[in-house]
């Protein structure tokens, strides 16, 4: 595809927008939160600050690609009855929207207004088609619990002349020094690509707890470790308390010779411990950002920086996803291997 420009809904501190910038693709993000906007401003990312619901495709006429990482909402809470009900509501609303119904009034009746946000990308897609300027490509990302919504989106987009692929991707399989699972959907208008769209192929081995780091085999590289990307002089162990089940003391325990556990908004609480049990300094925002593959000098700003970092899609994963969705040359990715990530200011020349 030529002359690509992305509008990124719920753009956060810029995980996807950093990837787009690396790939030389213009991007504008819509983001509500003052803190995320402070980071975006410091990073020089184009931003419209406000509520995604107040805007539409006609306000961003140059954008021919839609990206969105809506906030994780109540339905992500495992096993919660309310969560399941919210998810069912969302699926019903999506189908009604696809049938041309205006559900705005009904969405306002939902007990948690945030539930409706996951449907905003669909509202933008439908509006763009009504405006006779359908998006050439669409990229959606969320926690795995949202997969049923992406399944319905797949059906709807397929009926709207898009080629679609979606699945749960594991970030360490794309060279991110962190295990994190995300439901990703990509879609491309059937008249815009040579072949059907497919999610990016893994470039690195999946991580398995207790299994030694695999050698490179068949072009698939070993997973990238925390020690590979952080400039700490000695080995360490991180106690993150991430996850459920098993012995709480052993939960989320990761050595520097392994990828990090999922980076969340609570990463600043993780303990970092030397082999002789001495407590080491906790992760700085720069280090937490690096575990998400943000450049080491990314200018994190505002408050709640750990939350901003935990909210983001790892830019390296986003770069793989963009290359696949937009049918770009995969060689573009070669220079973005995690251990050699470029410094932000060198990259954007600020
Ligand atoms: C999961 S994060 C997305 C992160 C982003 N994809 C990235 O990679 O950095 C969701 C973001 O949506 C923002 N948000 C929540 N409600 C919003 C709304 N109504 N309009 C615009 N942004 C909103 C939040 O502040 C948060 O930064």
Of residues 59, 14, 60, 54, the one with CA closest to residue 37: 14
How buried is 156 (Cβ within 10 angstroms: 0-12 exposed, 13-18 middle, 19+ buried)?
Answer: buried
Q: Which domains does the chain have, with CATH numbers?
A: 6-204+311-348 (3.40.50.150), 226-292 (no CATH)
Handedness of CA 292, 138, 82, 182 (dihedral sign): negative
- Give me the pLDDT at residue 77, please: 54
Q: Is 30 in the pocket of ligand 1 (CB under 6 A)?
A: yes
Residue located nearest, by CA, to atom 6 of ligand 1: 69
Asked if residues 99 and 160 have their Cβ atoms less than 8 Å apart, the reply is no
Each residue of 11-45: b (16+ CB within 10 Å) or e? bbbbbbbbbbbbbebebbbbbebebbbbbbebbeb
List the alpha helices (DSSP H) in 57-197: 81-98, 104-108, 120-130, 147-159
Lowest average pLDDT, out of 35-39, 69-73, 175-179, 325-329, goes to 69-73
Residue identifier of the C-alpha nearest atom 25 of ligand 1: 33
CB 238 within 8 A of CB 270: yes
Any atom of ligand 1 within 6 Å of the Cβ of 321? no
Q: Is the pTM of this model over 0.85?
A: yes
pLDDT tens digit sequence for 68-117: 999 876 665 545 566 677 788 889 999 999 999 999 888 887 777 788 89
The CB-side HSE value for 4 (13 A sphere, CA atoms) comes to: 24
Average pLDDT over all residues of the chain: 89
Rounded to the nearest whole angstrom, what is the distance from the C-alpha of residue 11 to the centroid of ligand 1?
Answer: 5
Q: Is 316 within 8 Å of 174 (Cβ atoms)?
A: yes
């Amino acid at each position: 595809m030529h002359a690509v420009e992305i509008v990124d809904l719920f753009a956060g501190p810029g995980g996807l927008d950093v990837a787009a910038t690396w790939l030389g693709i213009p991007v504008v993000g819509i983001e509500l939160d003052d803190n995320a906007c402070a980071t975006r401003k410091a990073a020089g990312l184009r931003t419209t600050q406000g509520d995604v619901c107040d805007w539409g495709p006609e306000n961003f006429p140059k954008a021919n690609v839609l990206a969105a990482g809506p906030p994780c909402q109540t339905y992500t809470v495992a096993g919660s009855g309310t969560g399941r009900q919210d998810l069912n509501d969302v699926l019903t609303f999506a189908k009604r929207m696809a049938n041309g119904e205006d559900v705005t009034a009904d969405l306002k009746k939902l007990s948690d207004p945030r539930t409706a946000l996951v449907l905003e990308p669909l509202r933008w897609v439908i509006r763009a088609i009504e405006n006779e300027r359908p998006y050439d490509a669409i990229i959606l990302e969320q926690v795995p619990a949202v997969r049923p919504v992406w399944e319905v989106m797949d059906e709807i987009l397929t009926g709207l002349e898009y080629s679609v692929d979606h699945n749960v991707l594991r970030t360490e399989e794309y060279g991110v020094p962190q295990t994190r699972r995300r439901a990703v959907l990509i879609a491309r208008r059937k008249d815009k690509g040579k072949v059907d769209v497919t999610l990016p192929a893994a470039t690195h081995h999946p991580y398995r707890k207790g299994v030694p780091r695999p050698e490179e085999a068949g072009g698939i590289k070993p997973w990238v470790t925390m020690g590979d990307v952080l400039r700490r002089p000695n080995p360490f162990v991180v106690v993150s308390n991430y996850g459920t089940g098993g012995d709480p003391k052993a939960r989320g325990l990761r050595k520097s010779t392994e990828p990090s556990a999922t980076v969340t908004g609570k990463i600043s609480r993780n303990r970092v411990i030397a082999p002789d049990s001495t407590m080491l300094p906790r992760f700085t925002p720069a280090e937490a950002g690096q575990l998400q593959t943000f450049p080491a000098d990314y200018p994190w700003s505002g408050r709640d920086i750990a939350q901003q970092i935990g909210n983001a899609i790892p830019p390296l994963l986003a770069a793989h996803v963009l290359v696949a969705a937009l049918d770009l040359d995969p060689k573009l990715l070669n220079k973005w291997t995690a251990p050699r990530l470029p410094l932000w200011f060198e990259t954007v020349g600020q």
